[in-house]
């Protein structure tokens, strides 16, 4: 076997590396994205298989296990076998955090202790790859990059699974399926839902604008009444018209020569926004096309596409002449007047800014300097979409090294009997970088400033005529498309009210990462929470329902600003301002607080999430068999005909039931205001449970949803408890010494709900000696309420404490060691 190997992120990358360096650095072995998944909670603590409202934080980190699907098992096996004899590993995965994690987690999983060199490249042409191997550095220098990736993955698993289980248990009473909560996914849904609700609640307001034609010696132009606030009463606008009719007065004319620098280079979010608005592309398509331009066979004409900043390192200034010459050799860009020499702008307002790249894995997306000379040869092989995207990237690069756009701005004012009128216009002096975008019209040149003004002198007399009133109406905020939604995710500070925090988060990178935001949106669409409506993206009724329930339960769950703060902490791991464990702790603290708040709301009778609001639900799913049978029974009893489609459409069937089933007021139980009738699914489940146990469902339980839910939970837990106690007792015999203390306790349930008193059940007690416990992070308060104590670095249950709850939570120390939870 070889004494050194190269690990790449995927097969196509391995082919490019092999073509560039051959076998000089050893056998080249590709991964297939992540070859390892994190362990599930029940893999770490078996009792966590049973869902409960707790923080699923293990003592250390979640360990890893081989991932399934595709050809992952074979690829992982090949790397594992090669690691046994390899003395040196070259990690040649992608240059970002995720690429670092994909390669290094394999080495950690197999406890590899040989030399590891990190190869970073931002383009996949042979020359770039050869150069990257030549300047490879010890992998230890990228420890913070790996720590940041681990922190994000661990924190997401703990946060998402803990809150999904908690929300499902507490809010999902009566729901079909799981209520999925995600640290990034849920606030992203919230951004769209808030906008949709703003639009639906929006009430248009009429307002009025007044325009008049101004006549001067050199011609005429249009002036607009410019009050500080909009005119909302027509009689006020009519007074302005009356004052302007035939008015003559001296103009105030101010002429200024101004300049404007070029727009910033592109990162992935800015490309996704532009392509969404210009071409109607979903965010995922922009990334797909960019990826093909980056590593497609015979292409490789742009740098790494998952860019998260819009700057270049100053070391790339020397590449500018070659890239410009290569682009202008092609017909598409030959007419763009790039100055010779090109103009280099440094610093925050320019394109080359080393400090602006702090904490970033890669720079802005630009043409590949090593393949730009081949552009004329590559161009015919590009698809139409690939040409469109490369055109955007190339023009942005050329504009960045062109002269400023210079123009003469003229502002004209006129006081019309106390009513201010205004006109403005700009006259180009030198197009500069705007010559790279012949079709582009900046937003600030629309309206008044788009008109051409005649020659004007300050103090010149103007006469107004033909004043008119233009009836206007306020408009609601626009719906998001995928591009503007990604921009909103990137600029989550806009959703923060605190001014100090807003300023701090402006420097952060928003919620999610450039590589994951499109997938987050795609996931919400697959779950039927968001749908495409033309170019726009809107929430479904299911998505709005979930948003409403989560917001009412705890606004933190749907707060983009809170997620942006957590993202900021995770990003600080990269630059060493935050420790990995500290960042995970911060996310866990937030999750634990939300769990506590949800529990408080559940005890207080917070709102359940019903029916289609569960994950995976849609507004048009078919009715359940129980709903259909219930509708049929109502139709027979009342002699009414069910509506067309009731058997195939859940909403139609539900509407029929809502109209004809017993109303809430008729089935309220004394002392419980606003109680809901038991659902058809509850009734069906209860009858099956009663049949299995040879029981009768009491009328009091049938009367309302809450008593029915209590009766079902009581009898279902009792049925499951018999099986569970056998396993618990077997485990506990090896932990707790035998005792003569009584082990039976009696628990009661309200007779008007259960119809009977619950028989005595067997409990576990600690007696004689202390029973050692393993309490996961964040569960201290719950454990102490159950009787746990902490001493000398060890949790324990004193003699006589009931151990049943500890066993159900998986907090008893087993009699044999648990599998290792992590290799990290």
How would you write 768-817 as a 3-class SS string? CCCEEECCCCCCHHHHHHCCCEEECCEEEECCCCECHHHHHHCCECCCCC
> In terms of DSSP bridges, do strands 405-416 and 252-260 run parallel, antiparallel, or are they unpaired?
antiparallel
Q: What is the rounded CA–CA span in Å between residue 676 and residue 704?
A: 6
Q: For residues 251 and 498, is the Cβ–Cβ distance under 8 A?
A: no
> In terms of DSSP bridges, do strands 4-8 and 27-30 run parallel, antiparallel, or are they unpaired?
parallel
Q: What are the residues facing 408 on neighbouring strands?
A: 257, 427
Burial of 808 (0-12, 13-18, 19+ CB in 10 A): middle
Q: What is the rounded CA–CA span in Å between residue 81 and residue 238?
A: 86
Token duo for residue 123: 């383009």
Q: What is the rounded CA–CA span in Å between residue 393 and residue 398?
A: 9
Token duo for residue 664: 């809430």
Instruction: Return averaged pLDDT per consecutive 10 residues of the chain, 824 residues in all.
Output: 89 93 94 94 94 93 92 94 95 92 96 96 91 95 94 95 91 70 92 95 94 93 94 95 95 94 94 92 93 91 91 94 92 90 94 86 92 92 95 96 94 95 92 85 51 89 95 94 92 83 76 87 89 90 88 88 86 89 93 90 52 37 72 75 70 66 39 50 70 65 64 56 42 36 34 36 52 73 75 76 75 55 30
Distant-in-sequence contacts of 737-746, Cβ < 8 A, 24+ apart? 737/767, 737/768, 737/769, 739/765, 739/767, 739/768, 741/765, 741/767, 741/800, 745/802
Q: What is the rounded CA–CA span in Å between residue 728 and residue 743?
A: 14
Size (the chain), residues? 824
The helix, strand and coil proportions of the chain, stated in percent and rounded to the nearest 5, come to: 45, 15, 40
Q: Which of 661, 673, 669, 743 is nearest to 703 (CA)?
A: 669
From residue 365, alpha-carbon distances to 124, 236, 290, 306, 514 in Å are: 13, 53, 9, 8, 12
Kindly report, residue by residue over 185-222, the tens digit of the pLDDT: 999 999 999 999 999 999 999 999 999 999 999 899 99
Q: Which of 278, 277, 310, 305 is nearest to 293 (CA)?
A: 305
Token duo for residue 295: 């590593």
CATH 2.70.20.10 domain extents, the chain: 206-261+405-473
Strands (E), 344-454: 405-416, 419-430
Q: What is the rounded CA–CA span in Å between residue 372 and residue 301?
A: 6
Q: Which of 612, 642, 669 is nearest to 177 (CA)?
A: 612
CATH 3.40.50.140 domain extents, the chain: 4-153
Q: What is the rounded CA–CA span in Å between residue 699 and residue 405?
A: 80
CATH 1.10.290.10 domain extents, the chain: 268-400
Q: What angle do CA 389, 393, 398 make, to 5 degrees?
A: 145
CATH topology classification for 155-201+481-603: Topoisomerase I; domain 2 (1.10.460)
From residue 224, alpha-carbon distances to 210, 234, 239, 364, 412 in Å are: 6, 16, 15, 42, 10
CATH 3.40.50.140 fits 4-153, yes or no: yes
Q: Which of 706, 812, 716, 726 is nearest to 765 (CA)?
A: 812
- At residue 457, the pLDDT reads 93
Burial of 316 (0-12, 13-18, 19+ CB in 10 A): middle
Residue 48: Cβ within 10 Å count: 20
Q: What is the rounded CA–CA span in Å between residue 122 and residue 194?
A: 38
Token duo for residue 522: 């795609």
- At residue 819, the pLDDT reads 37
Q: What is the rounded CA–CA span in Å between residue 190 and residue 520?
A: 13
Burial of 738 (0-12, 13-18, 19+ CB in 10 A): exposed
Q: What is the rounded CA–CA span in Å between residue 45 and residue 56?
A: 9
Contacts of 17 (CB under 8 A, 6+ apart): 6, 8, 28, 92, 129
What is the dotted CATH code of the domain comprising 268-400?
Answer: 1.10.290.10
Block residue for tokens 């390892």: 36
> In terms of DSSP bridges, do strands 36-38 and 248-250 run parallel, antiparallel, or are they unpaired?
unpaired
Q: For residues 17 and 29, is the Cβ–Cβ distance under 8 A?
A: no
Superfamily of domain 206-261+405-473: Topoisomerase I, domain 3 (2.70.20.10)
- At residue 745, the pLDDT reads 34
* DSSP 3-state of 686: helix
Q: What is the rounded CA–CA span in Å between residue 227 and residue 209?
A: 9
Kindly report, residue by residue over 28-46, the tens digit of the pLDDT: 999 999 999 999 999 999 9
Residue 445: Cβ within 10 Å count: 14
Question: Residue 28: enclosing H or E segment and its boundaries?
Answer: strand 27-30
CATH 1.10.460.10 domain extents, the chain: 155-201+481-603
Q: What are the residues facing 28 on neighbouring strands?
A: 6
Q: What is the CA radius of gyration of the chain?
A: 34
Token duo for residue 137: 């550095």
- At residue 599, the pLDDT reads 86
Q: What are the residues facing 256 on neighbouring strands?
A: 409
Q: What is the rounded CA–CA span in Å between residue 824 and residue 821?
A: 9
CA torsion sign for 382, 385, 386, 389 is: positive
Block residue for tokens 């003004």: 453
> In terms of DSSP bridges, do strands 530-533 and 405-416 run parallel, antiparallel, or are they unpaired?
unpaired
């Amino acid at each position: 076997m070889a004494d050194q190997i190269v690990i790449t992120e995927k097969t196509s990358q391995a082919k490019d590396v092999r073509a560039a360096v051959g076998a000089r650095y050893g056998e080249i072995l590709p991964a297939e994205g992540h070859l390892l998944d994190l362990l599930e909670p029940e893999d770490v603590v078996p009792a966590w298989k049973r869902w409960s409202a707790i923080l699923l934080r293990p003592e250390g980190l979640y360990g890893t296990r081989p991932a399934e699907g595709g050809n992952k098992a074979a690829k992982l096996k090949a790397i594992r076998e090669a690691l046994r004899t390899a003395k040196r590993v070259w990690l040649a995965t992608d240059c970002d955090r995720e690429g670092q994690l994909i390669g290094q987690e394999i080495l950690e999983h197999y406890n590899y202790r040989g030399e590891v060199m990190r190869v970073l490249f931002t383009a996949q042409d042979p020359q770039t790859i050869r150069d990257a191997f030549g300047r490879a550095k010890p992998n230890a220098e990228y420890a913070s990059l790996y720590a940041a990736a681990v922190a994000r993955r661990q924190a997401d698993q703990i946060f998402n699974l803990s809150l999904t289980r908690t929300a499902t248990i507490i809010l999902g009473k009566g729901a079909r399926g799981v209520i999925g909560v995600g640290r990034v996914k849920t606030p992203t849904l919230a951004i769209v839902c808030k906008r949709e609700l703003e639009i639906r609640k929006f009430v248009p307001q009429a307002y009025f604008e007044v325009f008049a034609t101004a006549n001067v010696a050199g011609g005429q132009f249009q002036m607009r009444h410019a009050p500080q606030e909009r005119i909302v009463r027509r009689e006020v606008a009519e007074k302005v018209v009356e004052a302007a009719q035939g008015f003559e007065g001296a103009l105030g004319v101010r002429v200024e020569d101004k300049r404007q620098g070029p727009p910033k280079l592109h990162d992935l979010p800015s490309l996704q926004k532009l392509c969404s608005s210009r071409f109607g592309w979903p965010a995922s398509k922009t990334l797909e096309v960019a990826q093909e331009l980056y590593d497609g066979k015979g292409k490789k004409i742009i740098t790494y596409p998952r860019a998260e900043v819009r700057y270049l390192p100053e070391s790339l200034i020397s590449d500018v002449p070659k890239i410009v010459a290569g682009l202008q050799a092609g017909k598409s860009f030959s007419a763009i007047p790039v100055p010779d020499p090109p103009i280099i702008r440094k610093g925050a307002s320019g394109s080359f800014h080393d400090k602006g790249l702090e904490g970033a894995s890669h720079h802005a997306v630009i043409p590949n300097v090593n393949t730009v000379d081949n552009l004329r040869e590559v161009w015919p092989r590009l698809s139409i979409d690939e040409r469109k995207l490369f055109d955007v990237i190339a023009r942005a690069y050329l504009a960045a090294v062109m002269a400023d756009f210079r123009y003469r701005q003229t502002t004209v004012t006129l006081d019309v009997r106390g009513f201010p009128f205004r006109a403005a216009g700009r006259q180009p002096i030198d197009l500069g970088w705007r010559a790279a975008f012949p079709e582009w019209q900046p937003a600030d040149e629309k309206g008044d400033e788009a008109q051409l003004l005649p020659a004007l002198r300050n103090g010149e007399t103007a006469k107004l005529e033909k004043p008119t009133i233009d009836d206007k109406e306020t408009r609601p905020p626009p719906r998001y498309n995928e591009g503007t939604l990604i921009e909103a995710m990137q600029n989550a500070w806009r959703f923060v009210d605190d001014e100090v925090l807003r300023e701090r988060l402006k420097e952060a990178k928003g919620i999610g990462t450039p590589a994951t935001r499109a997938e987050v949106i795609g996931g919400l669409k697959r779950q039927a929470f968001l749908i495409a409506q033309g170019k726009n993206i809107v929430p479904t009724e299911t998505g709005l329902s979930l948003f409403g329930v989560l917001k009412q339960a705890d606004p933190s769950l749907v707060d983009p600003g809170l997620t942006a703060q957590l993202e900021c902490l995770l990003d600080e791991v990269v630059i060493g301002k935050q420790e990995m464990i500290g960042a995970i702790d911060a996310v866990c603290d937030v999750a634990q607080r939300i769990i506590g708040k949800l529990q408080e709301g559940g005890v207080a009778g917070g709102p359940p999430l019903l029916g289609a609001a569960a994950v995976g639900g849609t507004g048009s799913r078919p009715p359940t068999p129980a709903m259909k049978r219930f509708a049929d029974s109502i139709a027979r009893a009342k002699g009414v005909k069910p509506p067309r489609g009731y058997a195939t459409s859940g909403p139609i069937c539900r509407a029929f039931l809502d109209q004809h089933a017993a109303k809430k007021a008729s089935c309220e139980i004394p002392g419980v205001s606003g109680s809901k009738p038991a659902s058809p699914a509850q009734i069906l489940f209860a009858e099956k449970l009663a049949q299995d146990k040879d029981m009768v469902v009491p009328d009091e339980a049938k009367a309302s949803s809450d008593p029915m839910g209590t009766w079902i939970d009581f009898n279902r837990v009792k049925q499951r408890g018999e099986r569970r106690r056998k396993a618990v007792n077997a485990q506990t015999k090896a932990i707790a010494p035998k005792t003569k203390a009584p082990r039976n306790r009696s628990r009661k349930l309200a007779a008007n709900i259960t119809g009977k008193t619950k028989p005595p059940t067997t409990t576990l007690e600690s007696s004689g000696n202390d029973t050692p416990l393993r309490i996961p992070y964040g569960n201290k308060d719950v454990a102490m309420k159950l009787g746990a104590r902490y001493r000398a670095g060890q949790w324990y249950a004193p003699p006589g404490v009931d151990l049943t709850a500890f066993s159900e939570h998986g907090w008893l120390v087993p009699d044999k060691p648990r599998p290792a939870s992590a290799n990290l």
